[in-house]
Structure 1
Amino acid sequence: MRRITDLPKVELHVHIEGTLEPELVMKLAESSGVDLPYANADELRRRYVFTNLQSFLDIYYDNLDVLRTNHDFSRLAYEYAVRAHAGGVVHAEAFFDPQAHLIRGVALDTVVDGLVDGFARARSDCGFTADLIACFLRDRPVREALETLESLTAIDAPIIGVGLDSAELGNPASLFTEVFARAAALGLRRVAHAGEEGGPESIRQALDDLGAERIDHGIRSLDDPEMVARLVAAHIPLTVCPLSNVALQSVDELARHPLPELLAAGLHVTINSDDPAYFGGYAEDNYVLVAAAFDLDDATLADLARNSVRASFLPVDRQDEVLLDIDRWLADAHPT
């Protein structure tokens, strides 16, 4: 496990709100006077048994009530960054859900400034870097998403892109075409959750209607050979989250995860944690467990890490630095 924590990697699919550990929930609740329906962190953690995405989202949104001040968001970002860095993550393109906070009455600049501050402190302390991607909630009105994008623009929020998340079923990506067209006009990168609950049609809409440059999850692409061929030909990355897929019962057990099939098909797969506070593991835990489940060798793990770098929106020179560090990791593991 220590070897994998030394492997430099980039995390492309992590919801910063999903890194809110039960212990931090309790601390923030105490400091802000929020009453919680559970007595302690252990009791809260015992509730993390999910039957589907919605069962997770219900408790996920309830826990957000403790995030109220600039300091709360700063602490959230900082604690994730330090924890991720300890597992070998050198950079993250972190999702956040501005609407989930706006509808609670939290000001947008409170959210953004807090996250920026927390990540800046982490960069100073351990060298971890992060960029922000604002995700829109697909189960909220499209007009609200567009207004949120304009509000982010008005405060000059330092985001590099936009995404689409929350409940996939019954909330087609095609509804958000105007929002993503506006984001493209602003020069923002575009990603979207698709192919987790929904099938290949959901992925097609993310590509054709939203112009998505990465597909978050995407495991259901295997249901359609033509979609697989399209993703391979266009080098569209998939930000796969194995422990999340098991926790939300998209996959029965890790041993039956389609990761080997995705790799064998030539898809550009990356490994990520999604909502690690809820799903039992951070990025390196996902690497460790899939390595054990599928007997992946060091060369394959290095390739997965390289995929994460090349799929990122980092400048080429920064990508080259991390790729060189991955090469060194592999060379150290297998000296000639």
Structure 2
Amino acid sequence: MEGFIRALPKIELHLHIEGTLKPEMMLELAKRNQVSIPYQTIADVRAAYAFSDLSAFYALYSLGVSVLKTEQDFYDLTWAYIERCKEEHVLHTEISFDPQLHTRRGVAFGTVVNGISRALQEGCSTLEITSRLIMCFQRDLSQEEALETLQQAMPYKDSIIAVGLDSSEPGNPPDKFAQVFEKARQAGFLTVAHAGEDGPVDNIWHVLEQLQVARIDHGVRCSDDEKLVEHLVSKRIPLTVCPLSNVRLGVFSAMNEHNIADLLERGVCVTINSDDPAFFDGYMIDNFMAVANAFKLSKKDMANFSSNAIEASFLTSDEKAALRTRLQHYLDLNFRPII
């Protein structure tokens, strides 16, 4: 199974680029940009990455973001992730970024987008890894700030395919952002949103109805509402699930208690993703292996996660067909009858 998963063509749809900042790069960029951080060695940073709750994660995440200053920083961060995609047979990735984390501390919107986009373009031309870019609004900030961020994004519409909504759900209901999502749709952006992770199942209904999203990031609380699960199945509404992240942040106490295998069996368009892999001890292979080991799923089951991700992606029909062909070729090689 491990060999099968390592070479399996994969598609990642839920990845926060700021969450790929490894301890080594944090120290390197802090030194490059003369940013003071409370760590002197890689071992110190790694120890800090052993956080135990969501608040500690957010604090460390914010500290990491503080070392990102220049277009080259964002390029280097993104390029390191793209190289990891090549190693892990991730053929297509849809990367989220949080511009408000940067513009609020004086980094220009264009600096962020240009650095990320340059690495993505190079990844496509040199490594044949396709990508799309998703701009997320922080739900713990105001809709007014989100509207301002949407305006900042307008000159970069060719580089950004969708808008999203992330950060902590409690106290930040989806309807708080209904206006900005409507304006984003009118401007031609696709839409996604985090819901049903650290918030109730109702948040999933609300992002579907009030924000009219094309897919749900996380969405694991859907199992609390049978009618919702049936709706997700019948409408083929995708869930971009992040198994290791869910366990690390206490959404599930252990991987064998996760509902991802049950959702797959019931016909939900569920996918596997890494979320913030540098912080949650796992990129795509790690997440696939954790699920396979916890539930003793078959190779065909694991391949279904890739098939679902192709369907759920924001690629064109022709691009999806090309990925399906590559996936099917891989499966044909692995399931060829022995004569």
When the two structures are superposed, what TM-score results if normalisation uses the length of structure 2? 0.97
Q: Which residue of 2 aligns with 1:234?
A: 235
Q: For 1:73 and 1:231, how far apart are their aligned partners in 2?
A: 35
1:211 CA drift (Å): 0.4
1:171 CA drift (Å): 0.5
Counterpart contact for 1:49–1:247, Cα < 8 Å: no
- The residue identity in structure 2 corresponding to 1:204 is W
1:5 CA drift (Å): 2.1
Residue deviations 1:95-148 (CA, integer Å, cap 9, x gap): 000011000100000000000111122223311121110000000111000110
Q: For 1:154 and 1:324, how far apart are their aligned partners in 2?
A: 35
Residue deviations 1:235-287 (CA, integer Å, cap 9, x gap): 10000000000110111011211112212322110000000000011112111
- SS of the residue corresponding to residue 301 of structure 1 reads helix
Q: For 1:172 and 1:46, how far apart are their aligned partners in 2?
A: 34
Counting only pairs closer than 5 Å after superposition, residues 32-47 of structure 1 correspond to structure 2 as: 32-47=33-48
Residue deviations 1:130-174 (CA, integer Å, cap 9, x gap): 111000000011100011001110354510000000011111111
Q: For 1:132 and 1:257, how far apart are their aligned partners in 2?
A: 28
Counterpart contact for 2:19–2:61, Cα < 8 Å: yes
Q: Which residue of 1 aligns with 2:180?
A: 179
- SS of the residue corresponding to residue 161 of structure 2 reads strand
After the TM superposition, list the runs of 4 or more consecutive aligned residues in structure 1 that deviate by more than 6 angstroms.
Answer: none
Q: For 1:30 and 1:299, how far apart are their aligned partners in 2?
A: 46
Q: For 1:114 and 1:188, how far apart are their aligned partners in 2?
A: 21
Q: Which residue of 1 aligns with 2:141?
A: 140
Q: Which residue of 2 aligns with 1:49?
A: 50
Identity %: 43
Counterpart contact for 2:239–2:269, Cα < 8 Å: yes
- SS of the residue corresponding to residue 191 of structure 2 reads strand
Q: For 2:150 and 2:126, how far apart are their aligned partners in 1?
A: 31
Q: For 2:256 and 2:153, how far apart are their aligned partners in 1?
A: 42
Quick check: 1:85 aligned with 2:86? yes
Q: Which runs of 5+ in 2 are unaligned?
A: none
Q: For 2:169 and 2:56, how far apart are their aligned partners in 1?
A: 13
Counterpart contact for 2:97–2:134, Cα < 8 Å: yes
Q: Which residue of 1 aligns with 2:278?
A: 277
Q: For 1:102 and 1:214, how far apart are their aligned partners in 2?
A: 27
Q: Which runs of 5+ in 1 are unaligned?
A: none
Aligned length: 336
Quick check: 1:7 aligned with 2:4? no
When the two structures are superposed, what TM-score results if normalisation uses the length of structure 1? 0.97
Q: For 2:51 and 2:262, how far apart are their aligned partners in 1?
A: 25
Counterpart contact for 1:161–1:188, Cα < 8 Å: yes
- SS of the residue corresponding to residue 66 of structure 2 reads helix
- The residue identity in structure 1 corresponding to 2:282 is G
Quick check: 1:128 aligned with 2:129? yes
Counterpart contact for 1:200–1:224, Cα < 8 Å: yes
Counting only pairs closer than 5 Å after superposition, residues 1-336 of structure 1 correspond to structure 2 as: 1-156=2-157, 158-336=159-337
